[in-house]
Amino acid sequence: MKNILLVTSLYVAAVVGAGFASGQEILAFFVRYGNLSVLGVFAAAVMFGFFAFAILEGCRHYGCSSFDRYAEKISGKIISVVIRILSGLFLFCVFCAMLAGGGEVGGAMFGVPKSAAITIIAAFCLVIFSAKRRGFVMFNGILGAVITAGILFACLYILKYREMYVFANMAVKVGISSVSYVSYNLLTSAVTLAAFGSRLKSRRECVAAGVFSGIVIGAMMLGIWCVISIYYGKISLGALPMLTLMLRQNPVLSAVYGLILLAAMLTTAVASGYGVIDMVGGFKLKGNLVGVFLVVLGYLFSGLGFEGLVDNAYRMCGYFGLLLLVIVAVDVIKRSKNRKKSSILKRNE
């Protein structure tokens, strides 16, 4: 059970970044389509759980402890190289975006210059990277649980004395949004799942981790969806809808949620940076040279700004995420057929 909870927490930490915790992703992918979009939230939760199981079980089945090795097993050498390059580029862009976003939130909360806030966050990431896998597990594992509790508490707090009022819209767009949203997040979370899937020793544990992950992520998505739906179209929600709504409640709650948002950016930055270093074999080198180079380069590119990085990088890699999603699904189907064949052969013997 301990390993299931740990893997789930690491997965949640990789998925719940600035866009998720701020409510902007839930608004853009679901709320804008009205009442019907709640079905998209449930569909996305199921897909998050299914693909967590698929990657964890795939890594266990193939004996993989890295995303590179897993990608090669399910797609072949040539395609796996393409997947590795594109995944690495996207993870680096996410890392830069989270540094920039964390700098903005940290600067706004503590009144320090944005560049100084980015420097502090970048240095903190380097400390985590220098601790290698142990540091990553401890940091993202603990904060993943804290972020989950914080988001759920904040949503329940707002909903306690409020009535729901939402709007209606189209089914096809909701379906497309659900699939694209999951594939989009799979790019960053797949590396984390592959790296720690080896902790699970049986197919049953992989199923449990997938189901639990789907429930946890789905609960947070539903909570944010409910809160934002109340106010959507009635007030200006700004770039950070959840933080805007927390400010309407009380200063203490807004300060706490600001820290949750900052923590979400940190965990995503650490997960993305860890993925890049792991892909290029940086953890096998002495002196953490790759980690230092990544942080310095990330600091320089973070100057492009959070909004610009998110818009360009995420848009560029959106379709690639869908491709990865399809490849993983096909591998699950193949393994399922092979398992059935083996079962039939054993019965006939």
CATH of the domain at 35: 1.20.1740.10
Rounded CA Rg of the chain? 20
Which pLDDT tens digit goes with each residue over 143-179? 888 899 999 888 888 877 554 433 334 566 777 778 8
pLDDT classification of 54: cutoffs 50, 70, 90: very high
Distance CA 197, CA 244 (A): 37
Q: Is 226 exposed, middle or buried (0-12, 13-18, 19+ CB in 10 A)?
A: buried
Place of tokens 């909701």: 174
Higher pLDDT, 126 or 87: 126
pLDDT classification of 48: cutoffs 50, 70, 90: very high
Task: Look at 26-30, 63-67, 128-132, 306-310 and tell me which has the smallest mean pLDDT.
Answer: 306-310
Both tokens of 18, joined, read 């600035």
Distance CA 127, CA 47 (A): 34
- Is the Cβ–Cβ distance between 324 and 190 less than 8 Å? yes
pLDDT classification of 211: cutoffs 50, 70, 90: very high
DSSP code of 234?
Answer: T
Helix (H, G, I), strand (E, B) or coil at 310: helix
Average pLDDT, rounded, for the chain? 80
Q: Tell me the C-alpha to C-alpha distance, in Å, between residue 225 and each of 29, 122, 128, 228, 254.
A: 10, 31, 32, 5, 18
Distance CA 154, CA 158 (A): 6
- One-letter amino acid of 319: Y
Does residue 222 surpass a pLDDT of 80? yes
Which pLDDT tens digit goes with each residue over 279-332? 776 655 555 677 888 888 888 877 666 555 555 556 566 667 777 888 888 998
- The number of residues making up the chain comes to 349
Q: Which helix (H) or strand (E) holds 242?
A: helix 241-249
Distance CA 243, CA 131 (A): 32
- One-letter amino acid of 214: G
Q: What pLDDT shows up at residue 347?
A: 66
- Is the Cβ–Cβ distance between 257 and 245 less than 8 Å? no
DSSP code of 66?
Answer: S
Q: What pLDDT shows up at residue 169?
A: 43
- One-letter amino acid of 238: G
The parent domain of residue 84 ranges over 2-348
Place of tokens 């795939």: 58
Q: How many domains does the chain have?
A: 1
